Structure 1
Amino acid sequence: MILLFTISGKHIEITEAIKTHAQEKTSKLPKYYNSINQIEVIVDGSQGGSLSVEIIARAEHGKVFVGTDTGQDIYRCIDMAAHKLERQLGRAKGKERDNKYPGGHPADRSEESEPT
């Protein structure tokens, strides 16, 4: 699957170091949720000295996940927004897995039904 990555800045210049850091942090997101096909990072510097980072992960079937953080250090904001997104993706994957097997995983149930 091809992962489309875009980064944009509002009232701030996106340096190569910022772009590389954002790519490194967001490249790990598909391991938390397999069907991600686009990641967008938006850095906003218009909040009077503080920065806002928003990471948007788009998945199949129109699912959208968003992680945001605000602070003084752009690298820390990227890290925190990515961490928030990892938690969201992990919860979504867990819910899908639980809905697929509402009574538990089939392998778990077959072990319980065997006579001892």
Structure 2
Amino acid sequence: MNLTISGHHLEVTPALREYVVTKLDRVTRHFDQVVDVNVLLTVEKQKEKERRQRAEVTVRVKGKDIFVEQANEDLYAAIDQLMDKLDRAVCRHKEMTQAHSHTPAKRLDIEAAS
């Protein structure tokens, strides 16, 4: 898994990097087929204080890219909410990929006849 953490108008400190990595462990525990993860942390100049800190993540898995973003007045709170959203999106993707397996029609006819 390739992990890229970058910041716009903000320096990504080792503590912030470690916080993101520990939160991402929860997501990778659910789904191990993650190819690439890009995290973008941004501080924007907006009049609304509650939307100033912003976190975005793009997770590339086999066959699909999952993009999630979250904004908050505190960057750590934005990362927490972002990881919650990402966890739900990854679980949903995993369920959709596993839901396609079903019993073939030939097997159903044989089992019904018995």
TM-score for the superposition, normalised by structure 1: 0.79
* Matching residue of 1:106: none
CA–CA separation in structure 1 for the residues paired with 2:69 and 2:103: 32
CA–CA separation in structure 2 for the residues paired with 1:44 and 1:102: 48
Aligned residues between the structures:
105
Q: Unaligned stretches of 5+ in structure 2?
A: none
The structural deviation recorded for 1:91 is 0.8
* Matching residue of 1:83: 84
The structural deviation recorded for 1:102 is 6.5
The 5 Å alignment of 1:37-116 reads: 37-48=35-46, 49=49, 50-61=52-63, 63-101=64-102
Question: Which amino acid in the other structure matches residue 9 of structure 1?
Answer: G
TM-score for the superposition, normalised by structure 2: 0.80
Q: Unaligned stretches of 5+ in structure 1?
A: 104-108
The Cα RMSD (Å) is 2.3
CA–CA separation in structure 2 for the residues paired with 1:34 and 1:41: 18
* Matching residue of 2:22: 24
The structural deviation recorded for 1:31 is 2.4
Identity of aligned residues (%): 21
SS for the counterpart of 1:12 is coil
CA–CA separation in structure 2 for the residues paired with 1:88 and 1:32: 11
